[in-house]
Amino acid sequence: MPFSDLHLSDALLKAVADSGYSEPTAIQAAAIPPVLMGKDLIGVAQTGTGKTASFVLPMIDILAEGRSRARMPRSLILEPTRELAAQVAENFEKYGKYHKLSMALLIGGVAFGDQDKALEKGVDVLIATPGRLMDQHARGKILLSGVDVLVIDEADRMLDMGFIPDVEKICTLIKAERQTLLFSATMPPPIKKLADRFMTNPKMVEVARPATTNKDITQSLMPAESRQKRDVLRQLILDDDVKAGIIFCNRKTTVRDLAASLKRHGFKVGQIHGDMEQADRIRELDRFKDGDINLLVASDVAARGLDVKGVSHVFNFDVPWHPDDYVHRIGRTGRAGQKGVAITLITAEDAEAIANIEKLTGQSIPRRAPMARQAAAPDAEERAEAAPRRRDGRRTEAKRQEEAPAREARVEEPRRERRRPESRRDEPRRDSGPREESRRDEPRRQDNRRDEPRRDDSRRDGRDRGDRSRGYQDRDDGPPIGPGFGEEGVPAFLMVSART
């Protein structure tokens, strides 16, 4: 079936032909006619089947008539990630080049000022992530009462990322008399509940069983020990002569470390993960698309909907935690009828996760023969040189062997004499005199005696024994010279005889 049978406008058909497409995919052929008729639609299809064009193309013709107003978009497309939102914007620019439609992109990592200016002019198509859209609505910069077409794309990903409450809130801010389109790779119960609540008699379009993988992708599992995974990955890349590949990791730190390791070994590699600034993520994707780098290490932020032509290989450096993510990851290759290769590195601890993936997809993934174990991994040598201490603070075995002679020499040395030398034992302490002088010169600490004159020493020496025997009873004279041997230094109460 050619695109001309889908009742699209001539200007739109010309833009599609300029893009190099002549026939629609299964999801496009099934979804475009009911969307053009203004019906609500639920589209369920595996990733890489052309879902984006199935709603972008009819929306361009629907919005061709009409006029936008300031801060009141005529249509709204919700995407779970910035990359997906930017990709949909590229599709609108590509297919709508013969139409005069205005478009705005509301995503995080971009200054509010530029987005505010675009909204003030009025837009026909607003593409947004839920978080930034809610921020702009709370600031009073956007009104959703004029939205005629609402698209919820990658709904299952919205669910995984916790955006469903925001999506429900957004749906309540839009008028009920609207057209709602929902697209998803899978249809879990929460998404079905969302559709039942906010859609009116939707048409269900399902071109493939949920969570099935593309038949054009050759899948395999490669056993590897945890410490040998980097070596195995590098060997796979060299053996297959990978022209363009995406390597998925579960953690952001793993993405950074693996990208640095591959770069040290001479590979042209970039990285993308959620902690990067939006401008940096876009720059890395552009480098990958332009061929400046042929390997992209990524977290699951790039697993859904990312459309890069010519990706021949997908490597799962880590087995994904959720089985659905496996389907989306490997869907980055084998797109638009092309062949692709997906290789997953597995350890003994991944057995349960692999079993869940095979249960979800309904197929058994072939195992490869393990690679011959190398004597010493280059990465291990690099880590030993760069970090002589382990994380727990103890020396590595190689470092301990290097330090053994010096350590033995230190043991044989005699212990240093801690006592003062004989020549200095009878010397007075250097600070004894000044310290005593400073103590005598200190003012009295009692505030009530600070201004009293110091008593004459001759008067103190002329006191009789009775005066001295009073000790602490005579507070005006201050404390006695101090207890010591002899009567004159003994307090009076100790001199009283015991009664019998």
pLDDT tens digits for 158-212?
987 889 999 999 999 999 999 999 998 878 889 999 999 999 999 999 886 656 6
pLDDT tens digits for 249-302?
999 999 999 999 999 999 999 999 878 887 888 889 889 989 999 999 998 877
pLDDT classification of 457: cutoffs 50, 70, 90 = very low
Identify whether 426 is part of a domain.
no
Between residues 488 and 453, which one has the greater pLDDT?
A: 488
Examine the pLDDT at 346 and tell me if it is beyond 70.
Answer: yes
What per-residue confidence (pLDDT) applies to 471?
41
Identify whether 162 is part of a domain.
yes
pLDDT tens digits for 97-149?
999 899 999 988 777 888 888 888 889 999 999 999 999 999 999 999 999 99
Q: Left if phi > 0, otherwise alpha if psi is -120 to 50, otherwise beta: which for 117? A: alpha
Beta bridge partners of 314: 246, 342
The dihedral through the CA atoms of 385, 390, 391, 393 has a sign that is negative
What per-residue confidence (pLDDT) applies to 223?
95
Q: Give the domain CATH number at 252.
A: 3.40.50.300
HEC assignment per residue over 444-469: CCCHHHCCCCCCCHHHHHCCCHHHHH
Q: What CA–CA distance (Å, rounded) separates 90 from 105? A: 11
What per-residue confidence (pLDDT) applies to 335?
75
Examine the pLDDT at 317 and tell me if it is beyond 90.
Answer: yes
* Number of structural domains the chain divides into: 3
What per-residue confidence (pLDDT) applies to 383?
52
Examine the pLDDT at 406 and tell me if it is beyond 60.
Answer: no
In this structure, are 281 and 148 located in the same domain?
no
Identify whether 380 is part of a domain.
yes
Q: Examine the fold and report which residue of 206, 226, 259 is the final residue of a domain before the chain moves on.
A: 206
In this structure, are 240 and 202 located in the same domain?
no
In this structure, are 306 and 197 located in the same domain?
no
Examine the pLDDT at 459 and tell me if it is beyond 50.
Answer: no
In this structure, are 43 and 154 located in the same domain?
yes
In this structure, are 201 and 232 located in the same domain?
no
In this structure, are 87 and 192 located in the same domain?
yes
Q: What CA–CA distance (Å, rounded) separates 185 from 42? A: 11
pLDDT classification of 499: cutoffs 50, 70, 90 = low
Match 């300029």 to its residue by tokens.
18
What per-residue confidence (pLDDT) applies to 75?
96
pTM: 0.59
Average pLDDT, the chain: 79
Examine the pLDDT at 375 and tell me if it is beyond 50.
Answer: no
In this structure, are 225 and 131 located in the same domain?
no
DSSP 214-283: PTTEEEEEEE--GGGHHHHHHHHHHHHT-SSEEEE-SSHHHHHHHHHHHHHTT--EEEE-TTS-HHHHHH
pLDDT tens digits for 61-92?
999 988 888 889 999 999 998 888 988 999 99
Examine the pLDDT at 347 and tell me if it is beyond 60.
Answer: yes
The full length of the chain comes to: 500
In this structure, are 163 and 26 located in the same domain?
yes
147-174 residues labelled b (16+ CB within 10 A) or e (exposed): bbbbbbbbbbbbbbbebbebbeebbeeb
What per-residue confidence (pLDDT) applies to 322?
85
In this structure, are 55 and 153 located in the same domain?
yes
In this structure, are 253 and 125 located in the same domain?
no
What per-residue confidence (pLDDT) applies to 407?
53
Q: Examine the fold and report which residue of 386, 413, 446 is the final residue of a domain before the chain moves on.
A: 386
The pLDDT > 90 percentage for the chain reads 46
Match 């990903």 to its residue by tokens.
157
Straight-line distance from the first to the last Cα atom of the chain, in angstroms, rounded to the nearest whole number: 130
Q: Examine the fold and report which residue of 183, 206, 229 is the final residue of a domain before the chain moves on.
A: 206
Instruction: Of 72, 80, 74, 71, give the one whose Cα is nearest residue 60.
Output: 74
pLDDT classification of 389: cutoffs 50, 70, 90 = very low
Q: What CA–CA distance (Å, rounded) separates 308 from 190? A: 30
